[in-house]
Amino acid sequence: MPIVIKHLSFTYSANTPYEKKALKNINLEINEGDFLGIIGHTGSGKSTFIQHINGLIKPQQGEVEIFDLKLTPAKKPKVNLRDLRSKVGMVFQYPEYQLFADTVEKDVAFGPKNLGLSAEEVAKRVKTAIEMVGLDYEAVKDRAPFELSGGQKRRVAIAGIIAMQPKVLILDEPTAGLDPYGKEQILNLIKYLKTHCSPTIIVISHDIDEITRFANRIVVFNDAQIAYDEPMQQLFKHSRQLQKMGLDIPRAVKVVNNLRARGVDLGDDIVTAEDLLKAIIARYNEKHSAQIDEGACVFDMYDFSQKWLTSEEREELGLIPKSEEVPKAQSKTRKPNKKTKPRKTKDEEGKE
Amino acid sequence: MAVLLDNVTYSYNINDTHRIDAVKQLSLHIEEGTFVALVGHNGSGKSTLAKLLNGLLMPTSGEVKIFGKSTLDPNNIYEIRKNVGMVFQNPDNQMIASIVEDDVAFGPENLGIERDEIIRRVEWALSKVDMLEYRKRTPFKMSGGQKQRLAIAGVLAIKPKILVLDESTAMLDPQGRSEVLKVAHELNKQDGITVIHITHFMEEALDADRLIVMNDGRISFDGTPREVFKHYEELKTIKLAVPWETQMAISLHKAGIDMGEGIVNEEELVEKLCQLL
């Protein structure tokens, strides 16, 4: 059992007029291999909770056990936080705001360097991490992170965490602020990391349709407590209560509930778009004696190839020659910079 | 005509030899009182377009006119900025005062409006965004949705005729997002304010009068949301997605179930499925 939380409570600004109970007697066991989704409206305690898991907040009451490390309110024995953070990696909201180094390579190397690894090992991990997030190591390593697009910056930030090869990876709103395509890329990346890097993943998200695409278990925070802890397929039996808490339910569940209210019952194990498609086709086949193959039907929201780099991004990174509109006339008339390499690339994101 | 763009190009200088045209020879008219949703992926030029509307950026070539006045003429800028109110993405970056009503009063105070009128405007603006009860509170501990509504109130106090929401919902949770959208639609319907809502969430465009899709500095589609969603294949190729319910109908249709055309929301999808199942 990698993570065991017992009777955890936390209060902000205790004994002041601003006192706020953020966690009340939380008990939770997170298993190795869990793909855990955490939901809850703003202020429900979920962020305070995850900050306990990698030792950013010390428990005030109760205890947090992570692998063989035990965090308690007691001052002694002292817990090796470096050891803890090498095991539990945390990707904050808008992690690209935390990029600071002047090259991508240095930024990603910061974490593993601080773990005290050999230079050789650091270099190896940095290369692996950058490639793992779907960027071309040779093309990006010497570039300033700020030249990259928003989605690319976020991937660099994630690379910085996975370079520490954490066994548990926590991501807080990993797709916030990205466009649909950028979101899709990050979601695919998270799934990839689950099998290739961190076997236990915890994701906080407001977008329930996003969470249901990968989580196998969902924990719902409400009013500083855990309201539900259910396998993903089971959670939405409580849709009415979830909606009362001001939480969204998956769109497929909404459709199923509406259909049921109008006398069409498709069953109650439908959560994702794919589930709904299959159930509708099965019902349609039955009613109209049709023979539509449910396997042939896909919910392809985006035209998204599994490759994380689009041809544009490859162009941007100089991996393939730019197809057109190289301002040749201009570059002939002006002298190229003598010492610095001419920049082939451009950061459209920041300039939008 | 509230907004007129005539063959507008805007280029950023990348370095000595490189320029990017973020907006390319774009022409556009927006009638007063329209609710326009402007959608495009990151880097499509939509935010550049927004900044051209109130003279934060000047066109490299072409002309932008707001109620007939060009942004190129420095004499017009004051009036244009009064007419075009902008709310940006990050709710935490737009607060300047520590008390809600002071924050809203900042705009009209700077216009030299007299005190009684400022008080009236602050009250009006706060009630418009349903925040009047928070007038004596501090904005810093509010939710993202509340902060963005407050930012809208701050803009409203200047009495703009055009409200530009530049990805103002992008950083909000679903509840905050619907709060802000509701306020924007009310202002459009009740007060006739022209709204230009920039977003990359297609479903936020559903209730707009007009949906403009941008790609690569140009307009790819311009029409009612229903018309534009018919081009779902092309929308995918420019990194956008149609609303979930539309995609559901399309997937079923492709599989061989006749879903008809034009399903854009849950109600329509459920209605159609009831007929079929």
Domain ranges of chain A: 3-241, 244-296, 311-351
Report the distance separating Cα B136 and Cα B209, nearest Å.
36
pLDDT > 70? residue A341: no
- The single-letter DSSP state of residue B169 is T
ipTM: 0.83
- Domain positions in chain B are 3-242
3-class SS of residue A228: strand
Query: Across the interface, do A327 and B18 touch by the CB < 8 Å criterion?
Result: yes
Q: Is the Cβ of B93 closer than 8 Å to some Cβ of chain A?
A: no
Report the distance separating Cα A104 and Cα A141, nearest Å.
5
Q: Which helix (H) or strand (E) holds B5?
A: strand B3-13
Smallest CA–CA separation between A96 and chain B, in Å?
Answer: 14
3-class SS of residue B212: strand
Q: Which CATH superfamily does the domain covering B3-242 fall into? A: P-loop containing nucleotide triphosphate hydrolases (3.40.50.300)
Measured between CB atoms, which of B12, B19, B200 is closest to A179? B200
pLDDT band at A313 (very low <50, low <70, confident <90, very high): low
Residue of A nearest to B23 (CA): A352
pLDDT > 70? residue A329: no
pLDDT > 60? residue A27: yes
Q: How far is CA A53 from CA A36, A63, A71, A90, A301, in A?
A: 13, 10, 9, 9, 34
Q: Is the Cβ of A42 closer than 8 Å to some Cβ of chain B?
A: yes
The stretches of chain A forming alpha helices (DSSP H) are: 46-53, 81-87, 104-114, 119-132, 137-140, 150-162, 180-196, 208-211, 232-235, 239-244, 251-261, 273-288, 311-316, 328-333, 348-351
- The pTM (predicted TM-score) of the whole model is 0.83
Smallest CA–CA separation between A78 and chain B, in Å?
Answer: 34
What average pLDDT does chain A have?
84
Q: Is the Cβ of A120 closer than 8 Å to some Cβ of chain B?
A: no
**Predicted local confidence at residue A148, as pLDDT:** 84
**Predicted local confidence at residue B236, as pLDDT:** 84
Measured between CB atoms, which of A150, A259, A336 is closest to B42? A150
Residues of A within 8 A of B204 (CB-CB) are: none
CATH topology assigned to domain A3-241:
Rossmann fold (3.40.50)
Tens-digit pLDDT profile for residues A79-128? 888 889 899 999 998 899 899 999 999 999 999 999 889 999 999 999 99
Q: What are phi and psi of A83, to 5 degrees?
A: -60, -45
Cis peptide before A77 (omega within 30 of 0): yes
A327 or B175, greater pLDDT = B175
